Amino acid sequence: MSIAIMTSGGDCAGMNPAIKQFVDYCFTKDVQPYLIYDGLEGLIDGDIKAATYEDVAGIMHEGGTKIRSSRSKRFFEYEYRKQAFENLQKYGIDKIVILGGDGSFRALNQFHKDFGVNFIGVPATIDNDIFGTEYCLGVDTALNIIRQATDAVRDTSSSFKRACVIETMGRDCGYLALVSAITCGAEVCIIPELDYDLESIGNRLKDELEKGRKYIVCIVAEGCNHDKCTSTNQLVQWLETDIGIETRATILGHVQRGGNPTVFDRLMASEFVTYSIDKLLSDHIGGSVIVYNRSEFQFVTIEHVNSQKYKIRDDLLELAKRLVN
């Protein structure tokens, strides 16, 4: 019996611990593990290798993904999916663990419909934007990178009586910005999911500055860089002109995707992968996604994951309400 693992879409910390656990656990189950390199592109091009212990030795603490990733347009075409299937057949692989986001799961679901390859999707994206799961691999590490950066920017902002606007990633989802604002002690949090009132925020900030506030930390989600929201640049302008405080912007960018995986992400990687392998070995499951809710793991269908847009928990949004008024 042969199972393969691949990483697809945006990489994140926690993928390497997942790959290591995949290989080590398969060996304990007398199953030959395979590594598919370069995501769906590598699957099409036959970049597949039988894994050895050596391939995964010493990768537990490393960010990114040793087997690399890609975003594939070719996989939308049947002809390339067929080529990918023929590659798997050469190695007798009929089961795949794929780490990625919902786009990658949809791609493999189509692959399953075409050729019957069983797979389990492990939610892995710093955006934490997959419906049906409270947690996606990599989020804790990304949050800790943001926390470290925000703490550092606060040091210099407070030394200069400045405001800082820190932009986080997350695509359309404000989760990273929201949790960072709550846990880093920000004064302002602008995310697509929360209505905000700039006038009222402005009055509050002016009042606090008059009472002795020395600096201001604002956290903005990259999803706000569109017409209906206040972008990072607009916020900087507003702080300088309307509030009258010198302001600097820090766009954190891809630094949020790297770094050593935290203990939590290493543990989550281990659990996500172990339960996925157990499931693949015990059932003919078709296509399924492993999700994590209220401290429990469960398997759900791709249709379920795709049925709605991810929504941030109301109680978390509630915690940040004082930062939007």
Please identify every residue annotated as catalytic. Answer: 127
CB of 171 to ligand F6P, least distance (A): 4
Nearest CB to ligand F6P, comparing residues 98 and 245: 98
Rounded Cα–Cα distance for residues 192 and 172 (Å): 7
Which of 168/288 has CB closer to ligand F6P? Answer: 168
Of the pair 10, 33, the CB lying nearest ligand F6P is at 10
Q: In the block, which residue shows the tokens 């999916």? A: 81
What does residue 7 show for φ and ψ, rounded to 5 degrees? -120, 140
> Closest CB to ligand F6P among 64 and 287?
64
> If you write DSSP's letter for every residue of 178-237 in order, what string do you get?
HHHHHHHT-SEEE-TTS---HHHHHHHHHHHHHTT---EEEEEEGGG-STTS--HHHHHH
| Distance (Å, whole) CA 225 – CA 165 | 13
Query: Using CA atoms, how far apart are residues 153 and 165, in angstroms rounded to an integer?
Result: 9
Q: How far is CA 43 from CA 6, 133, 143, 283, in A?
A: 9, 27, 31, 24
Nearer to ligand F6P, 169 or 273 (CB): 169
d(CA 136, CA 60): 18
Closest CA to 292 of 170, 139, 84, 83: 139
Helices (H), ranges, the chain: 15-28, 39-45, 53-56, 78-91, 102-115, 139-159, 175-184, 198-210, 232-238, 263-282, 302-306, 314-319
As measured in angstroms, the least distance from the Cβ of 230 to ligand F6P is 18
Q: How far is the CB of 29 from ligand F6P (least distance, A)?
A: 32
- Which residue, 127 or 187, is less far from ligand F6P as judged by CB? 127
Nearest approach, Cβ of 253 to ligand F6P (angstroms)? 8
CB of 127 to ligand F6P, least distance (A): 5
Q: Which residues are near ligand F6P by CB under 6 A?
A: 10, 125-127, 169-171, 222, 257
Name which of 134, 176, 175 is nearest 300 in CA terms: 134
Report the nearest approach of ligand F6P to the CB of residue 305 (Å).
16
Tell me how far apart the 2 most distant CA atoms of the chain are, in Å. 72
Q: Rounded to the nearest 5 degrees, what angle is found at the Cα of 190, between the Cα atoms of 189 and 194?
A: 100
